[in-house]
Structure 1
Amino acid sequence: MAKHKWTAADVPAQNGRTAVVTGANTGIGFEAAKVLAARGAAVVLAVRDTAKGKAAAEKITSASPGADVRVQRLDLSSLDSIRTAADQLRADHNRIDLLINNAGVMYTPKQTTADGFELQFGTNHLGHFAFSGLLLDMLLPVPDSRVVTVSSVGHRIRAAIHFDDLNWERSYSRVGAYGQSKLANLLFTYELQRRLSGRGKTNALAAHPGASNTELMRNMPSVPRVAANLVVPLFAQPATEGALPTLRAATDPVALGGQYYGPSGFAEGRGAPVLVRSSAQSHDAELQRRLWTVSEELTGVKFPV
């Protein structure tokens, strides 16, 4: 008998559940939000550009009339914006079932966030770390609530946590900084799950989309970007497929805390979502704890676990 390939059709009913998806105006975040809304979830598109967010919400409600889709401004490169968004979500909702940390930037030129952090580390990791910490107590009482953080195969590429220069002030590598941020996503997930263990209701999981044809590479230098635009469509899967690992981590009833989902195909580039392995470095418990402590210090956010 052929092994069942998990698809969007396997997402169970989400009626009565509230999902917050960062970066949901485009790409895999949009596709994940679209499926969750179609399955009955109340979905919040947490996005930096609210005009694009509203356009995305209209597309979702056009496809699923009656869907409950709202837009919340969130700039993950600003701790002030993160706190404002968290306060608004707390005012608008009495619970959160799914927090999907999807937004990200990739291979950006050397830039800093509003708070002086290197842009990729500050947005991809510290922004989501702070956002999760400020909202976690809204998930803790909710049965089968989940924090799903989107990492990347890039967590293996020139990836290390440069504690002596987290903001790449001495030298800068677009690839290295991206790798650091995506490794940090996994270290955060595994440490959060360790802290949640035994509480019984909330779990932390991670996913990666493989090679997906999205706007994420828009910040690459011009020559490699042109090459990527020619090559990626030949090998990458569409965003609808790239969103499946995220959706499986968020909704599969048998998914467990601390698991990592990605595509099943060659080099995890494409294919149906399955359990995958992350690097040995991502499972270093001492590294996880050290990054957690530093992240709390840098963001000023303390978790209720």
Structure 2
Amino acid sequence: MASMSAWTAADIPDQTGRTAIITGANSGLGLVTATELARHGADVILAVRNTSAGETVAASIRAETRNATVSVRQLDLASLDSVRAFADRASDELDRIDLLVNNAGLVILGDRQTTSDCFELHFGTNHLGHFALTGRLLPLLERGQSPRVVSLSSLSHKGAHLDFADLMFEKTWDASAAYGASKLANTIFGIELDRRLRAAGSPIISTLAHPGVSRSNLTPRAWENRGVVGKLIASAYAAMNTQPTEQGALPQLYAATAEGVHGGQFFGPNGNNEQRGNPTEVQATAEANDPSVGKRLWEVSERLTHVDYLDA
């Protein structure tokens, strides 16, 4: 096996017989992750909001990888009803899940927006949606073969803080801070999930990854409402400061598949202040690692989503 510093998608172990669910797999990091898992034999389920686009992507992956077991299921992480429906269907159709990659994420600029459940859009989608999804799929994961959950963090978690008195940014709105807080919440969740799985003696491991500064579809989306100038800025920034999406997906692919990975490990790029490069183990912030913060976020998340992991 290649060393971590030289690890590429070609080093992904055989995934034949493993069932993998990837959220937000229509484009960007999720598409690369789904494609590479399919290429290495996994049965891949694309959990996407737009199923029409998902079917087009699935057909493309099947053609490229010659893997027929790529399917599409509808999932809108901004709706707890949609999360419940997805999990119910998975329970009806699947015997087990071996890998869950909580990849989907959104970033907005401009005015504050909310989910269908009235949560701030970043926090509700990026964190609470994935929290509820993972909890509801836990019984299927428990039956998996060496099951893993991968939570996607971001470099932006390093400058973020969770204000439990204003998690939904109702008092003071700042789009960038709201996005950062949601990614910090993703990070806290992945670490706290690992603590709880270990304490329960579960076979599931919870790992984390971030893509560095990747040429995903988030930057163009963030600027899409700023006209021609905004699109030019996004394109220029991407060309000068980001790495290809295929490279940015390597940390989460490593977390999802590499041999010897254990719960609680966090992977990101190995160069340029974690902005680019091949996978290496990285560290989350002190706030993300604080067990008291993890416990508090967990309790709030269970209350808001009505998903109790003990009864999932």
TM norm structure 1: 0.96
Match of 1:206 in 2: 208
Query: What corresponds to 1:265 in structure 2?
Result: 271
Once the two structures are superposed, the pairs formed by residues 177-216 of structure 1 within 5 Å of their partners are 177-197=178-198, 199-216=201-218
What secondary structure sits across from 1:267 in the alignment?
coil
CA shift digits 1:50-91 (9 cap, x unpaired): 011111101100102233100000000000011001111111
User: Cα distance, 1:278 vs. partner?
Assistant: 1.2
Structure 2 residue corresponding to 1:281, chosen from 278, 287, 299? 287
| Secondary structure of residue in 2 paired with 1:45 | strand
Question: Could you tell me whether the CA contact under 8 Å between 1:136 and 1:304 is conserved in 2?
Answer: no
Distance 1:167 1:225 in 2: 28
CA distance in 2, matches of 1:153, 1:24: 21
Task: Provide, for residues 259-302 of structure 1, a one-character-per-residue CA deviation record: whole Å limited to 9, x for no partner.
Answer: 10001110111100111111111111100000000000000001
Cα deviation, residue 169, structure 1: 1.0
Deviation of 1:162 after TM superposition, in Å, equals 1.6
**1:168 aligned partner:** 169
Partner of 1:9: 10
Corresponding position of 1:139: 141
Matches within 5 A, 1:34-113: 34-109=35-110, 110-113=112-115
Task: State the secondary structure of the residue aligned to 1:148.
Answer: strand
For 1:138 and 1:200, how far apart are their aligned partners in 2?
12
Within 2, Cα distance between the matches of 1:67 and 1:233? 35
C-alpha distance in 1 between matches for 2:143 and 2:23: 22
Inter-CA distance 130–25: structure 2 relative to 1 (3 Å threshold): same
Give the distance between the partners of 1:140 and 1:118, measured in 2 at CA: 31
| Residue identity in the other structure for 1:15 | T
Which structure 2 segments of 5+ residues have no match?
none
Please report the TM-score for the alignment, with normalisation by the length of structure 2.
Answer: 0.94
Q: AA paired with 1:202?
A: I
Q: Which residue of 2 aligns with 1:126?
A: 128
In structure 1, how many angstroms separate the alpha carbons of the residues matched to 2:67 and 2:176? 42
**8 Å Cα contact 1:40-1:67 kept in structure 2:** no
Equivalents in 1 of 2:38, 2:144: separation in Å? 19
Give the 4+ runs in structure 1 shifted more than 6 A: none
Report the residue type matching 2:260 in the other structure.
V
- Deviation readout 1:121-163 (Å, 9 max, x if unpaired): 0000000000000001111132310010101001012x11121
Residues 22 and 47 in structure 2, CA contact (< 8 A), matched pair in contact too: yes
CA distance in 2, matches of 1:225, 1:122: 27
CA distance in 2, matches of 1:255, 1:151: 17
In percent, how many aligned pairs have the same letter?
Answer: 47
In structure 2, give the amino acid aligned to 1:89.
A
Q: Is the CA contact (8 Å cut-off) linking 1:249 and 1:261 kept in structure 2?
A: yes
Q: CA deviation at 1:238?
A: 1.1
- The answer on whether the counterparts of 2:16 and 2:41 sit within 8 Å (CA) in structure 1 is yes
Runs of 5+ in structure 1 lacking a partner?
none
